[in-house]
Each structure stands twice: as structure tokens, then as C-alpha cells.
A = this chain, B = another copy of it.
Amino acid sequence: MSAEKNVIVVGTGGIGTVVAYGIDFAQKSNLSIVVRRDYQKVKDVGYDIDSCDYGSVKGWKPQNIFPTVAAAAASGTVYDYVVITTKNLPDIIKVEELVEPIVTVGYTSVVLIQNGFDLCRPFFSKYPENVVISGITYCGSHNNSGNVHHTQTDKCYLGSGNNPHLPRDIQEAKTEEFVALYSNGKNNPIYITNEREYRYRKIIYNATLNTSCALTGVDTGRIELAGGLDTIVLPAMREVVAIAKADGIELPNDAINTALHLDDGEWFEPSMLVDVKKGNPIELEAILGNLLRVSKELEVDAPVLKFLYDLLKVVQYRLREKQGLFSLPKERPLSEKFYN
């Protein structure tokens, strides 16, 4: 382990801040962060973090704070690890393009600690000579303008995304090295060699329960009481199990039951529902879009997932309009299309 390793974290929401703090706390690398929205505040007074792992942290500032990726690149630092903890919204901004200025071709390892499925693929296309590490996190944390409330321990499974253009041993070594840089005795980064399986274990919840709650506007407790688990979520979960199977991954027998009891005792609002309620875009493509592309490649029918996707695509259109990403004419344009 060497203190010369340069790590940069892009995306400092609830999870990103905890990841960055954990790496800094480990004191095994030079840490930089990119802070877009709260840059001036963080530069001035740092973060206050109320953490289940680290206790009460006041005014934390990493060594280097940049307002943009471009500024982080202009510093001249060559980054060993670019850790991406932004929301994954490829229909709005592609992360592989966002980080281009700080990725050194053939050198930098990219670490994707994000929701979704099959996230490494666009990086393998754009950076065939770079290692990509995939992080499946179960951390729970919210960042309210520099005040971070960290409620669920930073447990993160990290595995190589398996770049088909690179030898496997190099990728595994980089993954192990990153896990070591990240580990600090208080958090729980775990090195894994079966990234795909861990993605499936998380997507079985996110592609089904998260999406159904977002669409119907209820938490995971209410969807159960309203009968939606049996009619919608369960059939969707069975499709995820079938896709995993065709992908060579036999999920545990109780995978569905475990996912459906994950929020027992809580009126829990999953991330996509929270986004819809706030009027924020949803991680639809990263979660359902990518899963459906894989199901198609594997020739597994997934009509329920497809239908959830089609409906949420309309919701995403509404959210994108609300965000001002496009605007519509006052008069509705006429369509000449003949439908039958």
C-alpha cells in the first residue's frame, strides 16, 4: 500500500460523502472530491457527518476539493482511482463521458459505486484498456447541503467488472488494492469475485419493488397491504431470477422472500419513489433498461419488467420536462400516424 495513490470521488450525495470520508479516514491515499452543488460551503466549512460508523464528525474537508471534473483534471494530478458515486442517469448524462478528463487511458481504474445493473459495459467500450470495478453498496445515508446523516453502515461489495480486453489477474489485483485503500476498520468494503451475482441480488429488489412503488406512489409496506406484491412485484422478481439463471447465476432459493421482507416493520420509501416525489429523474435505464437489454440478449421473456419499464419511461419523460430538460409547444402538435 502506498501513500502516493491518488483517489478522486465524483458525486457527493449521501453515499458519496460517506465513501469519500471512509477513504480519507483510512489514510492510505491522497483524496480529492468533486463537489458540484455545495462547493463553496464545503470549501468554507466542510462537512458535518452524523455517522453510524464514525460518530459525530464536524467540519471534515478532504485534501482537494474541486467544483468540477474539469478543475480536477486541470490540477494535473494523475488519478489511480476514479470513484463514481453519482446517480446513474445515462438518458440525461453519461458517466463515462462525465469523467473523461480525469481518466488516464490504460492507467486509471474506475470504481462504480452506483445503483443499477451491467454498469461497466459503456466503460469497456470507451476505455478498453482500463480496469473497471463495480461496487454494490448497502450503505444508507442522506446529504442535506453538507449535513450528512449516515444511518446504515457502509457495507460495500466490490468486484471486478471483468473487462474482456484485459487479463483477469490485473483486474483482481486492482480491485483488492482498492478495497484495501478503502478499508479503515470501521466500514466494511468486501472484495468479491462474482460481481454479477451481487448485482442480481440487489436488482431483484430495485428492478421490481422499487419500480412498482415509484409507479404507484406508495411505500413498500402499503404496496404489500394493497395486494401489489402478489400481482406485480412477485411475477417481476421471478423474471429477474429467470434472467439470472440464463446468465449462469443460480440465485439462492430464498432470494425472492429475502427481498420482499427486506423492509419488514418499516413504511419504507425506496429510492425511485423518493425521486418521483421530489420531481427528480429516476435511475430507470441503469436499473430496468440495462436488465431488459440483457434479458433480450439471453432471450428470456420478461413481460412484467418490460411493462414496468414502458410505463416508467413515460414517467421519466414527465420528470425530465419538469426538470426543464426540454419544453413543449403551447399547442399540441398533430400526429398523422394511423394506429391499428
Contacts and interface: CB of A to CB of B under 8 A. Distances in A.
Contacts of A194: none
A3 interface: no
B340 A253 contact: yes
Interface stretch (A40-48, A79-87, A145-153, A259-267): A259-267
A257 interface: yes
A153 B264 CA distance: 53
Nearest to A234: B339
A284 to B, nearest CB: 12
Most interface-central of A216, A260, A334 (chain B CB within 10 A) = A216
A313 B226 CA distance: 7
Contact of A339 (B212, B217, B229): B229
Q: How many copies of this protein are present in the complex? A: 2
A228 B304 contact: no
A99 interface: no
Contacts of A216: 215, 311, 314-315, 318
A318 B222 contact: yes
Interface in A165-199: none
A218 B310 CA distance: 14
Main secondary structure of the interface of A (DSSP, over half): helix
7 contacts: A215-B215, A218-B317, A231-B310, A232-B314, A254-B340, A267-B328, A303-B303
A315 to B, nearest CB: 5
A318 to B, nearest CB: 5
Contact of A314 (B226, B303, B331, B338): B226
B232 A307 contact: yes
Given A215-B215, A314-B227, A265 B232 contact: no
